[in-house]
Amino acid sequence: MTILNETDDRTAGQPERGQLILRHGVATRLTHWTWAIALFFLLLSGLQIFNAHPSLYIGNQSGFEFDNAVLEIGAVRGDDGVPKGVTTLFGKSFTTTGVLGMSGAAENPSFRGFPAWATLPSYQDLSTGRVIHFFFAWFFVAAFLVWFVSSLINGHIRRDILPSLADVKALPRSLADHLRLRFHHDGRYNGLQKFAYAGVLLVLFPLIILTGLTMSPGMNAAWPWLLDLFGGRQTARTLHFVCMALLVGFFVIHIFMVIAAGPLNEMRSIITGRYRIDPETPEKETRQ
Ligand code: HEM
């Protein structure tokens, strides 16, 4: 832990302020923003690629003659002759007009999986979507490898990311604190943060990379074991999509938590590394 200043800036009538510490190292900050930007482009271009065939399957086969679809997005004409967007998940159909299957202006609707605002490019263009997706995929892989290797070497994974037994025991209290939006600003991640970050960094990131590689014909030739590991290219595509959906869910909660915990202090820490802890935080709690 590096203390950047002492609590000598107290003035009469103002609340006591805690110390400024160095919370995030330079590798954590640089890789965080690289993957945040890369994931934005990967998400939108990925949905463009998905729209070329807006269905997901389990197994090796896909097509009309097989009965292994887990998700299908499309449009049908209702009994009244009016078209509507329909999403079928595990055999159960939902009307999703306006968002999935059919979207855009009512007088000139567009029949596509995800709507124009959720894809890059906004119009249907598979080849441009693939170029964007593969370009940012390599940035994402590079950022992840830099984070993983530097965090192994500097102890970030062991010290800050992997939950300890004490974190597991303190989980109910940590959960109750979060539900009441009560945050402790010390140098450490709390147990819930560790579980969420470990889930993203050590489970979802490797899984989304490996399932992406499994869909590549070049990789199938080089590493055929990937197809066996994930049970075929269609299952890999479905898992890739599920990882994406979980990352979107994480992102929504992540942003909400940053805002709830004090956005200026949180943003300063992930940009400059400097983080103001609560006054009178015990010395052992100030280490990150
Ligand atoms: C897809 C996008 C994003 C992902 C996957 C992501 C993921 C993560 C992860 C895994 C960490 C922990 C990093 C580590 O300790 O090594 C982290 C920290 C953090 N992220 Fe993000 N992030 C994303 C976008 C953002 C955005 C857009 C913001 C700001 C608006 C943000 C703000 C922060 C802050 C403030 C921290 C530090 C939290 C703390 O010190 O308590 N993140 N993020």
Is 141 within 8 Å of 219 (Cβ atoms)? Answer: no
- Per the omega criterion (within 30 degrees of 0), is the bond before 121 cis? yes
Distance 267 CA to ligand 1 centre (A): 9
User: pLDDT tens digits, residue range 172-185?
Assistant: 999 999 999 999 88
User: pLDDT tens digits, residue range 227-270?
Assistant: 999 999 999 999 999 999 999 999 999 999 999 999 999 999 99
d(CA 208, CA 216): 13
Distance 161 CA to ligand 1 centre (A): 13
Question: What is the per-residue pLDDT for 280?
Answer: 73
d(CA 167, CA 76): 50
Q: Is 255 in the pocket of ligand 1 (CB under 6 A)?
A: yes
CA-proximal residue: ligand 1, atom 39 (nearest): 266
CB-based contacts of 281: which residues, under 8 Å, 6+ apart?
Answer: 18, 19, 184, 185, 186, 187
User: pLDDT tens digits, residue range 38-92?
Assistant: 999 999 999 999 999 999 999 877 766 778 999 999 999 988 899 999 999 999 9
Q: Is 223 in the pocket of ligand 1 (CB under 6 A)?
A: no
- Give the residue carrying structure tokens 């050590």: 202
Q: Is pLDDT of 12 > 60?
A: no
CB-based contacts of 200: which residues, under 8 Å, 6+ apart?
Answer: 247, 250
**Percentage with pLDDT > 90 across the chain:** 81
- Give the residue carrying structure tokens 């979980």: 246
Tell me the domain boundaries of the chain: 1-6+15-24+155-288, 55-113
pTM: 0.91
Helix axes 263-271, 233-261, angle to 10 degrees: 120
**Percentage with pLDDT > 70 across the chain:** 91
Mean pLDDT of the 21-26 span: 95
Question: What is the per-residue pLDDT for 6?
Answer: 47
d(CA 89, CA 83): 19
Question: What is the per-residue pLDDT for 66?
Answer: 74
Is 49 within 8 Å of 133 (Cβ atoms)? Answer: yes
Mean pLDDT of the 150-161 span: 97
Residue 56: φ, ψ to 5°: -125, 145
Question: What is the per-residue pLDDT for 63?
Answer: 67
